[in-house]
Amino acid sequence: MPKNSILLALAITFMTSLATTQDPTSTVLKPPKGAQVAIVVFEDLECPDCARAAPLLEEASKTYSIPVVRHDFPLPFHPWSFEAAVLARYFDTHSQKIGNDFRDQCFAHQLEINKDNLHAFAEKFAEEHKITLPFLVDPQGKLAARVTADRNLGTSLHLEHTPTIYVVSNKSHGKPFVEVVDRSQLYALIDNMKKE
């Protein structure tokens, strides 16, 4: 094989592998290690529709014994959603369950929460869970950076709304993920993904 052909073949292989590693769906829309199927959701803690979807996703997770992978996608027109996501990330540092419990409490109390009382709401939650909530939750901005990274990830997937929900699998053939457009079809989509 001529030298130019070898170089061209190497360049094509490199570009293909680069495109694969840069495709966010190849890493994000996969179940966590050890799971065959999962639910992935991009949510905004101030979004009323996210609050309506959360119990359904939790119920499906328990019914099928599959994980729910939650990503932050705070919308810019929701005044307290970004800060709430940072607080949830703080509670994640104590345990993922406590972080998710805080998210669910935000959903349950959305109508009572505003930008001015969010920190007091988080303090009450922390006290109930015997956790000290510092005045400055994220002094170095590391938790905010994680929220921003999640939001950027959602943007790279061209998300247009919250919640955006996917049923994902670790299969290597066919389509390993499907967006849940009609939530009444969630269980059927999980059944199909588990069968394939």
Amino acid found at 101: D
Do the Cβ atoms of 102 and 88 come closer than 8 Å?
Answer: yes
Rounded to the nearest 5 percent, the helix, strand and coil shares of the chain are 55, 10, 35
In a domain, 23, yes or no: no
Domain that holds residue 146: 29-195
Please check the confidence at residue 101 and state whether its pLDDT lies above 70: yes
Beta-sheet strand order (sheet of 68-72): 68-72, 37-43, 164-169, 177-179
pTM for the complete prediction? 0.84
Alpha helices in 29-141 (DSSP H): 48-64, 81-92, 96-108, 118-128
| Residue 129 structure tokens | 């869970």
Total domains, the chain: 1
In a domain, 1, yes or no: no
Segment 65-97, tens digit of pLDDT:
999 999 999 999 999 999 999 999 999 999 999
In a domain, 62, yes or no: yes
In a domain, 5, yes or no: no
Query: Any idea what the CATH number is for the domain that residue 91 is in?
Result: 3.40.30.10
